[in-house]
A and B are shown apart, each in its own frame.
Chain A
Amino acid sequence: DTAVSQTPKYLVTQMGNDKSIKCEQNLGHDTMYWYKQDSKKFLKIMFSYNNKELIINETVPNRFSPKSPDKAHLNLHINSLELGDSAVYFCASSPGLGAGEQYFGPGTRLTVT
């Protein structure tokens, strides 16, 4: 039974389009995150939510809009996609805010052409 799941696994789209990535965790964790991993494998946090409340927004363009309908789900919507948005996006969860033990989803590889 998958702990943190993401859909889709691959996303290929054209510049200017809008797309969404969905994440769900069944670990009962309170905190969820979105990370972006670039082509050099550098992993950088984008957002974190704790019990549906936005906690961290790391100077991400406002074309990116996260949404947490409940503490088990965290979605990411991206408007007006740009070439530079191409990356792997990981969702993660942790038992609470500040917990370093994070569990990552399988990732969504986004390619913008």
Chain B
Amino acid sequence: QKEVEQNSGPLSVPEGAIASLNCTYSDRGSQSFFWYRQYSGKSPELIMSIYSNGDKEDGRFTAQLNKASQYVSLLIRDSQPSDSATYLCAGAGGTSYGKLTFGQGTILTVHP
């Protein structure tokens, strides 16, 4: 079983729609979670971090964490073509202390 698993995708949404990216994790000791965005040929960049249960909003992005269900999600509202990228979910803490454990990524395409 993968430690961090993302919905496989690829995901395609029309411009202006809500894109929903999901991630589950197996290590109950994981404390914090992160979403990184990676454009093709570029390096990952952090877009959201979440540490406690519930929702965290930042502009058009909302991260959600449910530790009981071991589930993390990222919602992108009013999706734009510039949001087209690979989104990487990562967990830290527990057996992953001192490192990030990444999921395999979800490719998102926002079409005009």
Cross-interface CB contact of B97 among A44, A98, A105, cutoff 8 Å: A98
List B43-75 residues whose CB lies under 8 Å from chain A: 43-46, 49
**Total residues of chain B contacting the partner, CB 8 A:** 23
Known interface pairs A45-B99, A97-B98, A98-B97; A104-B43 also in contact (CB < 8 Å): yes
Report yes or no: B102 in contact with A100, Cβ–Cβ below 8 A.
Answer: no
- A89 CB, nearest partner CB in chain B, Å: 11
- Chain B residues positioned under 8 Å from A97 (CB to CB): 98
- Chain A residues positioned under 8 Å from B97 (CB to CB): 98
Q: Does A111 make an interface contact (CB < 8 A)?
A: no
- A36 CB, nearest partner CB in chain B, Å: 11
A85 to B43, CA, bound (A): 19
Q: Does A66 make an interface contact (CB < 8 A)?
A: no
Report yes or no: A104 in contact with B93, Cβ–Cβ below 8 A.
Answer: no
**Total residues of chain A contacting the partner, CB 8 A:** 24
A56 to B98, CA, bound (A): 8
Q: Does A43 make an interface contact (CB < 8 A)?
A: yes
Cross-interface CB contact of A100 among B38, B100, B105, cutoff 8 Å: B100
Report yes or no: B43 in contact with A55, Cβ–Cβ below 8 A.
Answer: no
Closest to B104 in A: A42
The 3 lowest CB-CB distance pairs between A and B, nearest first, are A104-B43, A100-B92, A43-B102
